Structure 1
Amino acid sequence: MIEPDFEDRLVEAIQPIRQLAVANAIHQLHDSGLYASLADPGGIPVDELATRHSMLADRLSGFLRYLRNEGYVTVAADRWTLSKKARRLEPFLPWYTLLVGGYASTFTQIQDTLRTPGGYASRDGGKVGRGSCGISMFDALPLARTLIDATGAADVTVVDVGCGDGSFLAELCASHPGVFGVGLEPDAGGFALAERTVAERSLEGRLEVRHHGATDLRPDTVPAGRPVVFMAAFVLQEVLEQAGEEAVLAILRSSVEAHPDAHWVVIEVDHRPEDQELMGNGLGLAYYNPYYLLHTVTEQRLETRSYWEGLFARAGLEVVRLAHPDPRVDSTSLELGYLLRRCRGETAR
């Protein structure tokens, strides 16, 4: 027997399916370049839009109708444009690049990964890097600037270990006249994007990228003549799972043995999925809960603040400063920013 409120309960029950489609549509809208073309307030005819993006007009029309029904585009006299709702999304599109573009396929592999000893879910490394760098403009980049300034060096070479698409390091160099950048990226897709970033930015002589990873640090990685800051933003978690704790310790130790006066800037995430207060509302539920989930099944290992600080101590590093992102961006304090140096006595915090 079908109860009178069946349809109401059905609508409520399948909202996650609706949001799955919406999230993918928003990512595709942005990733395809359609978002930028539709930003013109005067609108654009569907045929012109299809030609500009080498798309089939009839299928594009169906996609636009879907977006109109969800409130993300409007149409008048066959001219399509973004709605106010869609325009308000612009600062937050990197989260879609990361979690939908980079990790959508990851979530479809959860069941298989839970059954496969030693197996991991795949991801799109290029989009993970691009999305992560985009998000970092709001949280990790200001954090890195603060920590680099705390070294007191006027001119510094920043070696970004795992630079993604290079935009994080490029922005750091562009906004900080005394920063010279060397980006290391092991993922082929991420490295290709990083090369493009270098080519597009007017930072000749101040930024270069190389196609290798954190475990490939060599003496010639760092140009001579300036103080050195090694930087790893959300990268040590990868090395930890893929190569083990000893590999992380070796990277940290070898870098400061070769450059005794160097600093490290490490940005990681405190692993607190059991903290019900944080996970139950706000950014904890909207971002960190799925972030923790995808790290459970991919080749990355999140750890607690106490773990990282113990590991730094074993590597012979002391914490000069611990900082968090601006609470207007992220009030959880789950993102940890460390400025480290070779132990010289009592740790200052």
Structure 2
Amino acid sequence: MKRPPPDYERRAIEHIQPIRHFFLASVLHHALRLGVFGALEDAPGTGTAALADRLGLDERRLGAVLLYLQNEDYVLDDGGWSLTGKGRDLPTFAAWYQMLVGGYGVTFQQLGDVLRRGAGYAGRDATQVGAGSTGIGVTDTLPLALELLDSAGTEPSTLVDLGCGDGAFLIEILKRRPGLRGIGVEPNPGSVERALELRARHGLEDRLEFVTATAADVAKLDLPDGGRGAAFLTAFVLQEMLEQGGEDAVRDLLAATFDAFPDTRWVVVEMDYQPDSPLVSTHGMAKAFHNPYFLIHTITEQRLETSAWWRALFARAGLTAAAATTDPRVDSTGFEIGFLLSRP
């Protein structure tokens, strides 16, 4: 039997690191979702049995997860389980795990199948994707959308969020704009159910309503004051319409909306599709997030386009488009782009 070369173990360690991170991301997602990190933040020094009872989990299996997380420096057993500094910081970024692992984890299990010629699209957990996306958006998309709304010069009385997901993003806007009413339009019943729960939790029943419908139904909406003073928002929604209905569907939606509400403003947030940009292989945020994000959207029923492509589409629809991008302290790649659309 041939002996392995002297550097075999070193090379093996290097090449199986992606497997380690695959397992780690999965464990972190489920531990966050089940409340392990939150419980240890509230009650550091909790033993395995007490933690399992509090969360309704199997003690032996939870113990194995905690030992695993201790080896990855997220928790520490010091007469009871507590979070390390890294563990205390992690929940700030829970939405990334919810979207990419919880929402798109099933997507990558289908990658080998959808790469075959003639195959359809990979599936996803739309509820998890929507909730995770809006959670991430609080730090990047939300300030971008508010900046664009403010640039319109007049504050709208009603904001209509098309494809609102679980409504968390729209709720955050209403919390920052006390005089604003909101209407969330969302086709996924699971997301609408969660949106109603969040609305009640934040006490916004009198300012926020949800409609189970698609973005294409927007011109049929019965808006307050006939739509006067209304503005529209689509965050990462036109990319889905583009793939599922084509460019004409997007242009028809824009035209129908501005025909119905000619004085409105429309905030659009999308990604500038640049998978071959040098930034993607060199920039930390681009490698960690945008590189997998760009791949995801080629195998699910969504279509990303460049900033220049979107500008050209809006021009063909007879609209002006003022543009902005994210705060560089949050995402300095400039890949996330926003437009304020209006009809001249």
TM-score w.r.t. length of structure 1: 0.94
State the match for 2:179 in structure 1: 178
Q: What displacement does 1:278 show? A: 3.8
State the match for 2:244 in structure 1: 242
Q: What displacement does 1:36 show? A: 0.8
**Aligned mates of 1:213, 1:32 — CA distance in 2:** 31
SS of equivalent to 1:301 = coil
**Aligned mates of 2:21, 2:200 — CA distance in 1:** 37
State the match for 1:11 in structure 2: 13
State the match for 1:104 in structure 2: 105
Per-residue CA distance 1:150-192 (angstroms, 9 max, x = gap): 1222342110000011000000001112321100111122222
Closer, same or farther: CA 221–248 of 1 in aligned 2, 3 Å: farther
**Aligned mates of 1:117, 1:187 — CA distance in 2:** 27
State the match for 1:231 in structure 2: 233
Contact 2:281 2:287 in 1 (8 A): yes
**Aligned mates of 1:42, 1:118 — CA distance in 2:** 49
Paired residues in the alignment total 341
CA RMSD of aligned residues (A): 1.4
Which is worse superposed, 39-48 or 66-75? 39-48
Q: What displacement does 1:48 show? A: 1.7
**Aligned mates of 1:118, 1:264 — CA distance in 2:** 35
Q: Which amino acid aligns with 2:109?
A: T
**Aligned mates of 1:103, 1:258 — CA distance in 2:** 36
Contact 2:74 2:87 in 1 (8 A): yes
Q: Which amino acid aligns with 1:139?
A: D
State the match for 2:141 in structure 1: 140
Contact 2:283 2:333 in 1 (8 A): no
Q: Which amino acid aligns with 2:326?
A: P
Q: What displacement does 1:116 show? A: 4.9
**Aligned mates of 1:21, 1:215 — CA distance in 2:** 40
SS of equivalent to 1:181 = strand
**Aligned mates of 2:63, 2:129 — CA distance in 1:** 29
Contact 2:240 2:303 in 1 (8 A): yes
Which is worse superposed, 30-39 or 41-50? 41-50
State the match for 2:38 in structure 1: 36
TM-score w.r.t. length of structure 2: 0.96
**Aligned mates of 1:212, 1:332 — CA distance in 2:** 34
Which is worse superposed, 240-249 or 111-120? 111-120
Contact 2:219 2:256 in 1 (8 A): no
Q: Percent of aligned positions with the same letter in both sequences?
A: 46
| Equivalent residues in 2 for 1:118-267, closer than 5 Å | 119-224=120-225, 226-267=228-269
**Aligned mates of 1:118, 1:166 — CA distance in 2:** 33
Contact 2:44 2:83 in 1 (8 A): no
Which is worse superposed, 145-154 or 100-109? 145-154
**Aligned mates of 2:299, 2:222 — CA distance in 1:** 32
Contact 1:166 1:194 in 2 (8 A): yes
Per-residue CA distance 1:219-278 (angstroms, 9 max, x = gap): 334222651111000000011111211111111111110101001100000011111234
SS of equivalent to 1:239 = helix
SS of equivalent to 1:164 = coil
Per-residue CA distance 1:299-320 (angstroms, 9 max, x = gap): 000001111111111222111x
Runs (5+) with no aligned partner, structure 1:
345-349
